[in-house]
């Protein structure tokens, strides 16, 4: 519960649904700066991956990681990981460093799975795309606010079943708890975390593209602000943007660092999907003043008002699909194009943002 309330250590656990046998898919964790590495490795592990190795410059972080994943041997260097027989490198380094680790992993013939944001600049995006092209390796991204949320998986299923007709609008709200005192220095430095529209905005862009069923979108408008954290002048505690998808769906998202102390989760994340015949509202991490547990799917259509609890219902199919994609060289879990295009749009939003 504390981890849930803190947010940066929020690491969902799901059902064990292996898609590979023991030893068939070896993973190393490289870069433990963000607690998301635990969610990433939980998901991979539940889908059958073996977390066999770990590396970080900070031995304390490695030791902590090994408590959760005792099977992971501490590598003496990143190079040792790169020269090992792991198939996938999973990393949650400081955002600005995530791409470089991926480039090295791909150069060594490994697929890569980066925490979001997987990169923070256009140059990194260009390098990542080039590396995918030249090496044929994968650069996956942990867009956790959809991939690791059962309410979102449930929504995907009922939308596909036609529950709300044709989707016309997708809105996402991603408030986060700041926990300023427990954050490392890089968290507040734009050139290292990427800015709010990149860092946590990319989650929302990913969901807008996904739930709209669009192949592409453009940023119509975007804004960013530092309303209240004057002690970190370059930090941004608020951002929003409107997107128009290539299939005409209207997207909007808002992200912020204003989750108040009294909320029983790290953020009151919501996604609202409006269709021609109904709408869905996801209350992802709790249902304020109603239920401290998450994964609430509210759906209203011509038949009535419905409330589903998705927790424990769907699991997290992304991870097994991603492992199979790595082994089978398919793109079932997520296309490479989508993973990168989301970041390109996040960079667009960041660069054109009006400062409030």
Residues at the site binding a copy of itself, with contacts judged by CB under 8 A: 164, 166, 168-169, 171, 173, 175, 220-221, 223, 225, 227-228, 238, 240, 242, 244, 248, 250, 252, 254, 256, 258, 260-264, 268, 272, 274-279, 281, 288-290, 298, 300-307, 354, 356
C-alpha span between 55 and 76 (Å, rounded): 7
Q: Which of residues 115 and 348 has its CB atom nearest to a copy of itself in the complex? A: 348
Structure tokens of 149? 């949320």
| Cβ-contact 157, 282 below 8 angstroms | no
Element (H, E) at 219: strand 217-225
Burial profile 281-320: b = 16 or more Cβ within 10 angstroms, e = fewer = bbbbbbbeeeeeebbbbbbebeeeeeebbbbeebbbbbbb
Tokens representing 135? 């090496």
- Complex with a copy of itself: residue 234 or 356, whichever CB lies closer: 356
Q: Please, what is the minimum distance in Å from the beta carbon of residue 66 to a copy of itself? A: 36
Using alpha carbons, list the distances in angstroms from residue 289 to 62, 279, 295, 303: 38, 22, 15, 27
Q: Of 17 and 303, which CB lies nearer to a copy of itself in the complex structure?
A: 303
55: Cα separation from own chain's centroid: 21
- Asked whether the CA dihedral 128, 133, 135, 137 is positive or negative, the reply is positive
Displacement of CA 283 from its chain's centroid (Å): 17
In the complex with a copy of itself, the residue whose CB is nearer, 76 or 302, is: 302
Q: Which two tokens stand for residue 119?
A: 């990169």
Q: How far is the CB of 267 from a copy of itself (least distance, A)?
A: 11
Residue 290: CB minimum distance to a copy of itself, A: 7
Beta carbon of residue 4, minimum distance to a copy of itself (angstroms, whole number): 14
Q: How far is the CB of 37 from a copy of itself (least distance, A)?
A: 29
Residues 6+ apart with CB under 8 A from 160: none
**Token digits of residue 215:** 């192949």
269 CB neighbour count, 10 Å cutoff: 26
Distance in Å, CB of 95 to a copy of itself, minimum: 24
CA gap 157, 66 in Å, rounded: 36
The least distance separating a copy of itself from the CB of residue 307, rounded to whole angstroms, comes to 4
In this complex, which beta carbon is closest to a copy of itself, that of residue 52 or of residue 209?
A: 209
Closer residue to a copy of itself (CB): 93 or 217: 217
CB of 230 to a copy of itself, least distance (A): 11
Cβ nearer to a copy of itself, comparing 77 with 221: 221
- In the complex with a copy of itself, the residue whose CB is nearer, 59 or 304, is 304
| Token reading at 19 | 């898609």
User: What are the residues facing 95 on neighbouring strands?
Assistant: none
């Amino acid at each position: 519960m504390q981890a849930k309330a803190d947010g940066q250590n929020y690491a969902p656990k799901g059902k064990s649904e292996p898609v590979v046998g023991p030893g068939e898919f070896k993973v190393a964790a490289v870069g433990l700066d963000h607690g998301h590495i635990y969610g990433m490795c939980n998901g991979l592990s539940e889908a059958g991956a073996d977390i066999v190795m770990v590396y970080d410059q900070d031995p304390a972080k490695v030791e902590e990681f090994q408590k959760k994943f005792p099977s992971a041997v501490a590598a003496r260097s990143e190079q040792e990981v790169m020269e090992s027989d792991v198939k996938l490198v999973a990393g949650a380094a400081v955002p600005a460093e995530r791409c470089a680790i991926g480039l090295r992993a791909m150069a060594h013939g490994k697929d890569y799975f980066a925490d979001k944001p997987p990169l923070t600049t256009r140059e990194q995006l260009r390098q990542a795309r080039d590396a995918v092209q030249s090496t044929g390796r994968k650069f996956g991204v942990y867009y956790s606010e959809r991939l690791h949320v059962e309410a979102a998986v449930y929504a995907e299923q009922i939308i596909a079943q036609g529950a709300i007709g044709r989707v016309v609008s997708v809105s996402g709200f991603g408030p986060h708890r700041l926990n300023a005192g427990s954050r490392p220095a890089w968290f507040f430095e734009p050139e290292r975390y990427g800015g709010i529209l990149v860092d946590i905005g990319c989650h929302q862009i990913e969901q807008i593209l996904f739930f709209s069923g669009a192949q592409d979108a453009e940023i119509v408008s975007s804004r960013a602000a530092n309303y209240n954290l004057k002690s970190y002048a370059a930090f941004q505690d608020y951002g929003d943007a409107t997107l128009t998808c290539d299939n005409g769906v209207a997207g909007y998202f808002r992200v912020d660092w204003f989750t108040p102390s009294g909320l029983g989760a790290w953020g009151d994340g919501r996604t609202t999907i409006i269709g021609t015949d109904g709408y869905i509202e996801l209350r992802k991490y709790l249902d304020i003043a109603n239920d401290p547990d998450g994964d609430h799917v509210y759906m209203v259509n011509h038949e009535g008002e419905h409330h589903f609890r998705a927790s424990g219902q769907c699991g997290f199919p992304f991870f097994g699909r991603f492992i199979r994609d790595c082994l089978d060289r398919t793109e079932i879990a997520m296309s490479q194009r989508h993973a990168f295009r989301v970041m390109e749009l996040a960079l667009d939003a960041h660069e054109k943002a009006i400062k409030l």
